[in-house]
Chains A and B, each alone.
Chain A
């Protein structure tokens, strides 16, 4: 029983990070029906912003988090304006290939700056409590709580604010939105800013939990988060959150009962099975017919 709780906590920690990144994929898909395959690499850039802000600016955790989130958000907006916006009327596949290219650019640009893995300094004191035999690290707890707070904020923005309303409206019918006086390009930029900033926050949290970072760290984590988004129902925000935790739990479960090398294999098998039986995910709906 103790073991189960211990693993559950680990699953929550990994799942939180997947969920935060998955939100970026799902938000962009919801509004542009495009997969931003550079998003995993934006998560990596977030971890590097964290590293630079901590080492060179010698800042404590909160400013580091803010710098990473804002930095990645700006980068996300610039990428959308320069790389994706000119392709908005182009076939979907052009935008996806461009996104893959942007991802490769980010990886290799970071690699060119310095090829060696980096050690993120310990930004928060880590205490471990033993509670009925379950060891709870303060970092793990912090990651879960901060992630949930960020997700709650996002949920409020999407459900309660005018900007969130406009985002949902665009996901339904982008052509009508400007006819109500709503500036579509601004909303798309804000969507990118919010989605990528959550990826940046995930990068910082990843750096807290697994301090060694490198330019390729975003690839596998990015794919896992993408799977989370698809599992939850791509385009559905709550789905991405649920998908992240499902994938986190699944991975921990796999590692607990099978050799740990099976972990990624099982994640991709899950994606394949899901695509066969429920291609629109857990909370996703088959596309409504618009008249």
Chain B
């Protein structure tokens, strides 16, 4: 694994809503093959950072993906460049079937033949979804919706996946399953940027982590290291 191969670099990112800076001069990078996590409390600026990278919120600073500046590139084009998204709150379309939810994520794909193979890959990963493929997304349980959100991101066959609080609202056993799946996906070559409030789970799978507090990065390091860090333990691990 080439650790110098930076896939996302964020430089001096600031996201402001009116006079309030949700993200204040944040810089970090993600390298090919890593699992990088941004952890922090509610309102620390994690989701705003992710939204800026996704191209759905205005920002100042510089965000590069694969060496190219993402400024002025519309959100759907960013996905087309290989950045899949698992949105906050899962973002399942309750009025579409499970299959349709998956299919919509293939919008940017030209390789129609291999799409069928990818459905099988998603169903192998989440057998429950296969059973429910003709059911409306709104009828799924929270855990199944999260599986669908991850499966949907896989359908775009991206080299990078952004996840916004996949553990939100899930029972501990389901959280473990989802994090296990995330490491599996990472092992097959997908770089992961994970935003989490569940610091313990996130740090235990992360190669590197950044701790955000009121819009600033206050700590960074390897996931395991931060797990033992006194400050992190006090603030986030209880």
CB distance from B76 to the nearest CB of A (A): 5
Inter-subunit contact A178/B75 (CB<8 Å):
yes
Report A157 CB to chain B, min CB distance, Å.
14
Q: Which residues of A contact B85 (CB under 8 A)?
A: 179-180
User: Do the beta carbons of B138 and A288 come within 8 Å of each other?
Assistant: yes
Size of A's binding interface in residues, CB under 8 A: 20
Decide if B221 is an interface residue (CB 8 Å cutoff). no
**Shortest distance between the CB of A208 and any CB in chain B (Å):** 36
Question: Which residue of B is nearest A163, CB measured?
Answer: B107
Q: Determine if A169 is an interface residue (Cβ-Cβ < 8 Å).
A: yes
- Out of B55, B94, B105, name the residue touching A180 (CB < 8 Å): B105
Cross-chain contact of A165 among B54, B80, B100, B152 (Cβ < 8 A) = B100
Complex CA distance for A166 and B76, rounded to whole angstroms: 13
B108 within 8 Å of A (CB atoms): yes
A172 lies within 8 A of chain B by Cβ: yes
Residues of A within 8 A of B87 (CB): 175-176, 179
Within 8 A of B (CB), among A121-174: 162, 165-166, 168-169, 171-173
Asked whether B94 lies within 8 Å of A172 as measured between CB atoms, the reply is: yes
A164 shortest CB reach to chain B, Å: 10
Q: Are A168 and B93 in contact (CB under 8 A)?
A: yes
Chain B, Cβ-Cβ closest to A185: B74
Contacting pair B91 A182 (CB below 8 A): no
A178 and B74 contact, CB distance less than 8 A = yes
Enumerate A213-256 residues with CB–CB distance to B below 8 Å: none
A184 contacts the other chain (CB 8 A) = yes
Flag whether B191 is at the interface (Cβ < 8 A): no
Nearest chain-A residue to B158 (Cβ)?
A181
Query: Residue A184 contacts which of B76, B105, B152 (CB distance < 8 angstroms)?
Result: B76
B107 near A176 with CB under 8 A, answer no
Determine whether B219 belongs to the interface, using a CB cutoff of 8 Å to chain A.
Answer: no
Q: Is the interface of B mostly helix, strand, loop or mixed?
A: loop
Q: How far is the CB of A184 from chain B (nearest CB, A)?
A: 7
The answer to whether A168 and B107 touch across the interface, beta carbons within 8 angstroms, is no
Main secondary structure on A side of the interface with B: helix
Q: Does B156 contact A (CB under 8 A)?
A: yes
Q: Bound state CA distance, A178 and B156, in angstroms? A: 13
- CB atoms of B105 and A181 under 8 A apart: yes
> For the complex, what is the distance from the CA of A70 to the CA of B51, rounded to whole Å?
38
Known A-B contacts A168-B96, A180-B152, A288-B138; the reply to A162 vs B103 at CB < 8 A is: yes
Q: What separation, in Å, do the CA atoms of A180 and B85 have in the docked complex?
A: 7
Contact residues of B between 56 and 89, Cβ < 8 Å to A: 56, 74-76, 79-80, 85, 87, 89
Please measure, in the bound complex, the distance between the C-alpha atom of A177 and the C-alpha atom of B94, giving whole angstroms.
13
Determine if B75 and A176 form an interchain contact, defined as CB atoms under 8 angstroms apart.
no
Q: Report if B95 contacts A (CB, 8 A).
A: yes
Report if A183 contacts B (CB, 8 A): yes
A181 touches B79 (CB 8 A): yes
CB-nearest residue of chain B to A159: B100
Contact flag A182-B107 (CB < 8 Å), given A176-B87, A288-B138:
yes
A191 to chain B, nearest CB (A): 15
What B residues does A175 contact at CB under 8 A?
A: 56, 87, 91
**CB < 8 Å neighbour of A181 from B80, B93, B94, B96:** B80
| Closest-CB distance, A238 to chain B (whole angstroms) | 13
Tell me the bound Cα distance from A211 to B103 in angstroms.
Answer: 46
Cα A173 to Cα B96 in complex, Å, equals 11
Is B156 touching A181 in the complex (CB atoms < 8 A)?
A: yes
Q: Quick one: which of B94, B107, B156, B169 has the most chain A CB within 10 A?
A: B107
Q: How many angstroms from the CA of A168 to the CA of B89 in the assembled complex?
A: 19
- A291 on the interface (CB 8 Å rule)? yes
The reply to whether A169 and B56 contact each other, CB–CB distance below 8 Å, is no
List 30 A–B pairs whose Cβ atoms lie within 8 Å, in order of A's numbering. A162-B103, A165-B96, A165-B104, A168-B96, A168-B100, A169-B93, A169-B96, A169-B104, A172-B93, A172-B94, A173-B91, A176-B93, A178-B76, A178-B79, A179-B54, A179-B56, A179-B79, A180-B76, A180-B79, A180-B85, A180-B107, A180-B152, A180-B156, A181-B80, A181-B156, A183-B76, A184-B76, A288-B138, A291-B89, A291-B169
On B, residues with C-beta under 8 Å from A are: 54-56, 74-76, 79-80, 85, 87, 89, 91, 93-96, 100, 103-105, 107-108, 138, 152, 156, 169
- Sorted nearest first, the 9 A-B pairs with minimum C-beta distance are A181-B79, A176-B91, A178-B75, A181-B108, A179-B85, A172-B93, A178-B76, A180-B105, A169-B93
